[in-house]
Amino acid sequence: MSQLWRFFARARNGTYTNMPVAPDAVGVVLTLDSWFALIKQHLPAIRAKAVELCAGEPDMRPGDMRDIVFCSIDDLDDLLAGSDENQTLAVLRKALSSALSLRFTVHSWR
């Protein structure tokens, strides 16, 4: 999570310029298994650790420290197989807007 936040900060401040990054880009952490779904209660601790890791970043802003989608590679593969770019982004944004979790399973959001 902290690495994605650093990336968003560097994209915003112009340090990263290889490709344009949309201001509302969704950060995704892919897992190899769906095991992560079982530890939803650990997300606040993961976020707190990410905040701690980014505390010394001189140009980090609250907008860079956005929620991140956690999903298994199998779920992402299923999503990409049956969705176009706009549908995929809509599912990822819906996962972010959920009050239930910072992660998603494709089956619950399609």
pLDDT in tens, 25-42: 999 988 887 766 556 677
Q: Give the CA distances from residue 35 to residues 9, 17, 46, 52, 54, in Å, rounded to whole numbers and listed in that order.
A: 29, 35, 15, 25, 26
Dump pLDDT digits (tens) for 37-93: 556 677 888 889 999 999 999 999 999 999 888 888 888 999 999 999 999 999 998
Give me the residue label for tokens 């590679």: 73
> What local confidence, expressed as pLDDT, does residue 52 receive?
96
**Who wins on pLDDT, 56 or 105?**
56
